[in-house]
Structure 1
Amino acid sequence: MRLAQILWPIFLLMAGNAVAQESASDVAGLGGCAISAWSTDKDRSGLNVRAGPGIAYPVIGRLPPPQQLDGEEYATEVNIVGSKDGWFRINSATTNNYGDADAEVVFEGDGWVSGRFLGRSVEGQYLYGAPSRHAPVIFDFHDWPGDRKGADYFSLERLLSCKGWWVEVEGTFLGKHLRGWTDDTCGSQVTTCP
């Protein structure tokens, strides 16, 4: 048997492993997290769920737009497990009107949604420069002139990244553009978190 015939299957196996490792490292290189959020997309056709983190990937599902019930609006909620380049990897999505009916699963599996269309409420006092309480504080919501203080006045425009419970957010606070990390956010659209 020639050496090439022996080495070729080994080469193919190694190449396949390299591709698998590259794909795994793409996944491993994600900002891994365990948070939830809700869709802010008002498009009547729903929020696109894509096969990967970007618009070049095919649409593999759509999350329903917000539903109206008794004068209240309830958005689709997603379970987020990672992020990459402003896109968030989800493994499920549900609709829930918080009334008598149970939550309905509307997406299950591996998909990606844009952070431009995801919401969480920011409840903490500080935004940090990195996902750590040891990182520099880049903004203090309570250190502001006048009576309007606190994260209640922060208007979230997009989620950018996540790591564990930490979320990188972008938005405005009384006209000031802000971008930073916080571990004090809430994924509930109907109440504040403890």
Structure 2
Amino acid sequence: MSTASAPASSFRHHWMAHAATHAMMRPDKPALRYLGETTTWAELSRRSLRLAAGLAARGVAEGHRVATLTLNHPWFVETVFAANSLGAMAVPLSFRLAPAELDYILADCAPSAIVVDERLLPLLEAAPNAASIGTVLVLGESYEEFLTAHEPLELPDVSEESTALIMYTSGTTGRPKGVMLSHRNLQMQAIT
């Protein structure tokens, strides 16, 4: 167990602060398990903060939107934590969207960056509004190189009132709408 003091932002009730605290208090305990592979709390924190540093180097900042188009994989969690670590909003996108649906959402939320699984590139490329996204980070073989090229950034103090996620509704009565969820909303949902 580490004797280091808790991160300054650990009093905040959001997942990045909790992950940083777990990384300090129980670094070798499992955070994620996927297809027989385990990611420890220390690894999850370090990888997310490396990705955050890489996104910041590409211009992503507080208040920006970072879309994520991935299959079920730890990359999704790393991307959401990385975006939120910068004070940016994560916008999870379903890989089951039709190109026209994806295109509508991309136009509506106007992400400054998207993290996309390389297997889903054809879907992204079929959405014309994808061309206006400034940063496209493709998850695949080069992802590990991208992470190791950046030192983990220091976790900033992100307000619980800031928007953590924009979740799109199913659009059963019209076009999907982006629902903005703050870090506090997510904390209260977890408690409930």
User: Shared fold (TM-score greater than 0.5)?
Assistant: no
Larger Rg: 1
TM-score, structure 1 as length reference: 0.22
Q: Which has the higher helix share?
A: 2
Q: Which has the higher strand share?
A: 1
Greater relative CO (CA pairs within 8 A, separation 6+): 2
TM-score, structure 2 as length reference: 0.22
